[in-house]
Amino acid sequence: MGEAAIRTIVEAIHSSPTQAVVYLSGGASLALGWLMSVPGASNTLLEAVVPYSRISMVQLLGRVPSQHCSQSMANEMALLAYNRALKLSKPGSLATSPPKRGDHRFFLSMRASDRIWETGVTLTKNLRSREEEDKVASRVLIQAMAKACQVSETLDSGLTKSEVADESETQFSEEQELEQLINGQLSCKIYPFSREAYGSDKDRKIILPGSFNPLHDGHLKLLEVAMSVCGGGYPCFEISAVNADKPPLSVAQIKDRVKQFEAVGKTVIVSNQPYFYKKAELFPGSSFVIGADTAARLVNPKYYEGSNKRMLEILGDCKRTGCTFLVGGRNVDGVFKVLEDIDIPEEISEMFISIPEEKFRMDISSTELRKNQGGVDKRKREITEEEE
């Protein structure tokens, strides 16, 4: 099969909803040219990186690799690319990521949220030139991407009968994905229970973080009002499975809290980042919906080892990611506080946007609901004991 067949399958890839970050090292470089030469590449490619030199690879991995050409190395690069794709893609998009090849063999790994595809091929020595080997590796990569994109078209890889590709597909359960997230392997898991997005910037995430134990009407109303204040975007809730001063949530706890959002048809993201400066790195360009009490803590040097300079540096980094904070009023120690009651440093003041009290005020909290529920449960137990 020639260039026409390659173009056909690449067009089908670009027509699929899949988006990808591609990391390549050492080979299959022709695949990038094929992907980018066909109209629609921006629908598929979020980013392409070729860490060709040793130093570049060390910087990508954060360590010196023990072996440059192996399936485990390909899997590690795929996971890095997938986590990068999570930052760049729209909620709900499948992100895939293929590395890499060596002298006479190559390994390919593609990672999505719930599965990993692995391919290893050993090429016959002295059968092809380096350019011809690169073309074979590129064809295998394109075919693997097509499979991940659920494209039915096939492409002749150019492998001989003795050069059989060793392929495998491993699917992860929801529990395994969440364990990977808690352990820091995955940066987040998105549950796209809704597709609602509106306004001029539909790709921007409007994120309401919280523990949501339980989710209540105040949360739903606050996000709704925040959407109207900022002019639209993609509304989502966010739960951090990892806490700064508490043990991480268990898989069972995460699943129970996620069920609340499924019941009301709202998208929720589960991350492993409890700090806002890390959330900003994970979700660049997003608007975070917070209460006035949280805003006050964000600008309090007490939480930055007492350093005002450190506070401005960290929030300045958040600002450079394009993130903003939409601040709703909150009842603090019996007094209703709004953004205007907080002394925001001038250097970062434009990051904070007020949600007017007349648009949102609801004196309700998950803590109070849990206390009330606890009282109800206690009364139920007492009534049951008396009846018995």
**What CATH number has the domain bearing residue 20?**
3.90.950.20
Q: Does residue 242 lie within any of the structural domains?
A: yes
Is residue 156 located within the same domain as residue 212? no
Range of the domain at 276: 175-371
Q: Does residue 387 lie within any of the structural domains?
A: no
Q: How many independent structural domains does the chain possess?
A: 2
8 A C-beta contact, residue 159 and residue 136: yes
Using a 10 angstrom Cβ sphere, with 0-12 exposed, 13-18 middle and 19 or more buried, the burial of residue 78 is buried
Q: For position 53, what pLDDT does the model report?
A: 81
Out of 120, 147, 171, pick the residue that ends a domain. 171
Q: What is the DSSP letter of 206?
A: E
Q: For position 374, what pLDDT does the model report?
A: 59
pLDDT at 95 over 50: no
User: What's the CA gap between 29 and 133, in Å, rounded?
Assistant: 11
Among 179, 161, 164, 185, CA closest to 83: 185
The per-residue pLDDT for range 58-89, each reduced to its tens digit, is 778 878 777 777 888 889 999 999 999 988 87
User: What's the CA gap between 25 and 29, in Å, rounded?
Assistant: 8
Is residue 152 located within the same domain as residue 195? no
- Output the domain CATH number for residue 342: 3.40.50.620
| Highest mean pLDDT: which range of 11-25, 60-74, 140-154, 243-257 | 243-257
Is residue 264 located within the same domain as residue 287? yes
Q: Does residue 378 lie within any of the structural domains?
A: no
More confident residue, 97 or 152: 152
Q: For position 361, what pLDDT does the model report?
A: 84
Mean pLDDT score across all residues of the chain: 86
Is residue 119 located within the same domain as residue 183? no
Q: For position 364, what pLDDT does the model report?
A: 63
Q: Does residue 2 lie within any of the structural domains?
A: yes
Is residue 160 located within the same domain as residue 213? no
* The token pair that represents 95 in the structure block: 């992100």
Is residue 183 located within the same domain as residue 208? yes
pLDDT cut 90: percent of the chain above it = 60
Is residue 2 located within the same domain as residue 135? yes
Q: Does residue 386 lie within any of the structural domains?
A: no
Is residue 256 located within the same domain as residue 308? yes
Is residue 55 located within the same domain as residue 124? yes
Q: Does residue 381 lie within any of the structural domains?
A: no
Out of 171, 193, 210, pick the residue that ends a domain. 171
pLDDT at 229 over 70: yes
8 A C-beta contact, residue 86 and residue 54: no
User: What's the CA gap between 313 and 153, in Å, rounded?
Assistant: 51
User: What's the CA gap between 46 and 44, in Å, rounded?
Assistant: 6
Beta strands in the chain (DSSP E): 19-23, 45-49, 95-96, 105-112, 115-122, 166-171, 188-191, 198-199, 205-209, 232-240, 268-271, 287-291, 324-328, 330-332, 335-337, 352-354
The per-residue pLDDT for range 144-179, each reduced to its tens digit, is 999 889 999 999 999 999 998 899 999 999 999 999
The per-residue pLDDT for range 299-323, each reduced to its tens digit, is 999 999 999 999 999 999 999 999 9
Q: Does residue 80 lie within any of the structural domains?
A: yes
Q: Does residue 97 lie within any of the structural domains?
A: yes
More confident residue, 380 or 259: 259
Is residue 183 located within the same domain as residue 146? no
| Mean pLDDT confidence for 282-292 | 94
Beta strands in 302-343 (DSSP E): 324-328, 330-332, 335-337
Is residue 228 located within the same domain as residue 348? yes
Out of 171, 201, 218, pick the residue that ends a domain. 171
Q: For position 366, what pLDDT does the model report?
A: 58
8 A C-beta contact, residue 288 and residue 247: no
pLDDT at 376 over 50: no
Q: How many helices (H) and strands (E) does the chain have?
A: 13, 16
Is residue 213 located within the same domain as residue 309? yes
